[in-house]
Amino acid sequence: MSAERYNRQIILKGFGEAAQQQLLKAKVLVIGAGGLGCPALQYLAAAGIGHLGIVDDDTVSLSNLHRQILFTTPDIGKLKTEVASKRLQEMNPQIGIVTHPIRLQKGNILDILSRYDYILDGTDNFESRYLINDACALLNKPLIFAAVSGFEGQLAIFNAADNLAGSTNYRDIFPVPPGKGEIPNCAENGVLGVLPGIIGTMAAAETIKLITKTGQPLNNKILNYNLLTHQQYIINISQSSDYVLPKSVAEFLNMEYQDTSEAPHGYEEIDTAALTKLRQQESVILIDVREKHEVPVLDKQVFTQVPMSELNAFITKGFSQKHVVLICQHGIRSVAAAETLQEKFGNSKKIYSLKGGIVKWRDYFMRP
């Protein structure tokens, strides 16, 4: 251990060399190298976490850069885990970093999580949150949870009470996942880059406190932070009986965790090449399910605008076209709309969702 590197921590009253040694022995897994994961990874690496794992199967894109500050413009297209590992190793060559450039699923998550002492969840989708939560509960792994929505951030620590029987988990707040499309993520709702920076840094601080037993970590508590007012409050979490956690590996593997990366049977996700062909069909309707204030504004002679809040009324009124193409900003709400139409029309209509939405295919929609 380099005493000089960690000098300002070691000399801190109430911390000291013993706490620093605990950090160096700790094994921490950060899931998601995004807006929350990037600042958390930077501060955990700088603080001297001895063994740091990174899980992310995504590549760097231009829209990441305003908040995912480990990455730069030349990194676009590269695996996030590779770029993050290189930067963090340059920051602190004395620690070990392991990358997992994969998507966590039921079949691999227990093996990966079992290699670490602490898990930090920086994901941005509910499927992953419930999967990670249940795996941590089964393995008795402390879970540092961080999330942002709009101008607010949330932070909590689950499964880390001194008495494990008294620990709470994510399902004690939200027993069951919301329906697809019910709650927008950052891609749909937007986010100021500084907010996940603040919450991700706070998540790193909670991890350090938890490892070193410093201060009062947010065990069985959830903190809510408002960026616009800097107001924050903490709520105690109580155990609930409105859910069932898996108690064995077999039970865990039989749990249902919806994978939004795969479209359910009954509709098809398409790209702009397929969209171009569909536009040539005689009986096709192109439906923009975004709200009326969203930009860019599409040609109303080509696209019918039906916001999600008006979709049921539109369906009830009925329409004659056999091919239905649903479009939104990022391809998330259009999937939810496709499922709604599929339930209503079954096989009587062919339903499509534009994968990646207008943002991914912006040039297509901006053509004269």
Same domain, 202 and 274: no
In the block, residue with structure tokens 């999580």? 113
Does the residue 261 lie in any domain? no
Residue 344: per-residue pLDDT: 86
248 shares its domain with 307: no
Residue 258 lies in a domain: no
On whether both 244 and 288 belong to a single domain, the answer is no
The string of DSSP codes covering 96-127 is: EEEEE-S---HHHHHHHHTT-SEEEE---SHH
3-state percent breakdown (helix, strand, coil) of the chain, nearest 5: 40, 20, 45
Residues 78, 123, single domain; the answer is yes
Q: Give residue 260's pLDDT.
A: 44
Give the count of beta carbons closer than 10 Å to the beta carbon of residue 230. 8
Q: What is the pLDDT of residues 248-285, one digit of tens each?
A: 999 999 998 865 444 445 788 899 888 998 888 889 99
38 and 105 housed in the same domain:
yes
For 10, the token pair is: 């070691």
Residue 322 lies in a domain: yes
Give the per-residue pLDDT at 262: 44
pLDDT at 264: 45
Residues 210 and 327 in one domain: no
Which of 219, 253, 287 finishes a domain? 253
**Residues 149 and 74 reside in one and the same domain:** yes
**4 with 94: CB under 8 angstroms?**
no
CB 60 within 8 A of CB 14: no
1 in a structural domain: no
Q: Which residue, chain included where needed, has tokens 């801190």?
A: 12
**Peptide bond preceding 178 in cis form (omega within 30 of 0):** no
End-of-domain residue from the set 253, 288, 316 = 253
What are the beta bridge partners of residue 96? 51
What does the alpha-carbon distance between residue 104 and residue 108 come to, in Å, rounded to a whole number? 6
pLDDT at 366: 78
Domain at 11, CATH number? 3.40.50.720
The reply to whether 20 and 102 lie within a common domain is: yes
Q: 153 with 228, same domain?
A: yes
Residues 295 and 358 in one domain: yes
Cβ–Cβ < 8 Å for 194, 227? yes
Amino acid sitting at position 212: T
Q: Is-above-0.85 flag for pTM?
A: no
Q: Backbone phi, then psi, for 51, in 5-degree steps?
A: -135, 110
Q: Which of 269, 336, 320, 276 is nearest to 302 (CA)?
A: 276
One domain for residues 104 and 131: yes
Q: Which residues of the chain fall below pLDDT 70?
A: 1, 161-165, 179-189, 258-265, 367-368
Q: Are 103 and 110 in contact (CB under 8 A)?
A: no
- pLDDT for residue 150: 87
DSSP result, 134-185: HHHHHHT--EEEEEEETTEEEEEEES--SSGGG---GGGT-SSPPPTTTS--
Question: In sequence order, what are the residues at sequence separation of 6 or more whose Cβ sits closer than 8 angstroms to the Cβ of residue 308?
Answer: 181, 289, 291, 333, 336, 337
Residue with the two structure tokens 């709520």 = 235
**Bridge partners for 222 per DSSP:** 156, 235
Domain interval for residue 148: 7-253
CA 146, CA 324: separation in Å to the nearest integer?
38
- pLDDT value of residue 62: 87
When divided into structural domains, the chain yields a total of 2
